[in-house]
C-alpha cells in the first residue's frame, strides 16, 4: 500500500497586514479540519530550513498569501525550486468576492469571518484538486 504524500500549505507570515492574519487563520483552521495537509513554517523555510525546503521539493504545495507581493509563492519557487501547485492571494479574494479588507492586523473580527470562510473554501477546493492530480 502506497502512502499518499501530504499537501503542504505555505501561509503568508505578513504580520503587518490584515490580509496576512486572514491567511494564517484560514490555513490553521484547515489544518484542524483535514489530515491530508501540513504547514511549512515560511520564515524557517526562507532562512534555510532544509527539512522545509526538502518537503517543498518532494510534495505538492499550495501557497496562501495575504497580498499581491506573493512572498510565500515566490519563496517556494526560489528556495524550493518548484512552482506551487496553486497560489491563493487574500487581496484577490477581497477584490473578486467584494469582501471588505479586514481592519485588524492582530485578530479576526466578527465581520472578517465571512472572508476567512471564503478563503477556507478556496483552500479546500485547491487541496482537493491537487489530490485528484496526484
pLDDT, tens digit only, all 134 positions of the chain: 455 679 999 999 877 889 999 999 999 999 999 999 999 999 999 999 999 999 999 999 999 999 999 999 999 999 989 999 999 999 999 988 777 888 888 889 999 999 999 999 999 999 999 999 87
Within 10 Å of residue 41's Cβ, how many Cβ atoms? 14
Q: Residue 119 domain-assigned?
A: no
Q: Residue 132 domain-assigned?
A: no
Q: Residue 41 domain-assigned?
A: yes
* Number of domains observed in the structure of the chain: 1
How many whole angstroms separate alpha carbon 71 and alpha carbon 66? 9
Q: Residue 63 domain-assigned?
A: yes
Print the domain residue range for 74: 7-114
Q: Residue 42 domain-assigned?
A: yes
How many whole angstroms separate alpha carbon 55 and alpha carbon 26? 21
Which is nearest to 25 in space by CA: 105, 91, 108? 108
Q: Residue 126 domain-assigned?
A: no
pLDDT score, position 2: 54
Q: Residue 1 domain-assigned?
A: no
Q: Residue 121 domain-assigned?
A: no
Amino acid at each position: 500500500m502506497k502512502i499518499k504524500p501530504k499537501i503542504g500549505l505555505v501561509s503568508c507570515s505578513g504580520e503587518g497586514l490584515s490580509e496576512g492574519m486572514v491567511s494564517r487563520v484560514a490555513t490553521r483552521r484547515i489544518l484542524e479540519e483535514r489530515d491530508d495537509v501540513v504547514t511549512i513554517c515560511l520564515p524557517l523555510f526562507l532562512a534555510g530550513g532544509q527539512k522545509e525546503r526538502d518537503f517543498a521539493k518532494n510534495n505538492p504545495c499550495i501557497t496562501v498569501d495575504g497580498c499581491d507581493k506573493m512572498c510565500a509563492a515566490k519563496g517556494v519557487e526560489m528556495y524550493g525550486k518548484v512552482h506551487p501547485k496553486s497560489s491563493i492571494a487574500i487581496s484577490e479574494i477581497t477584490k473578486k468576492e467584494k469582501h471588505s479588507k479586514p481592519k485588524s492586523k492582530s485578530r479576526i473580527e466578527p465581520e472578517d469571518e465571512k472572508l476567512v470562510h471564503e478563503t477556507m473554501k478556496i483552500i479546500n477546493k485547491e487541496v482537493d484538486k491537487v489530490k485528484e492530480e496526484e
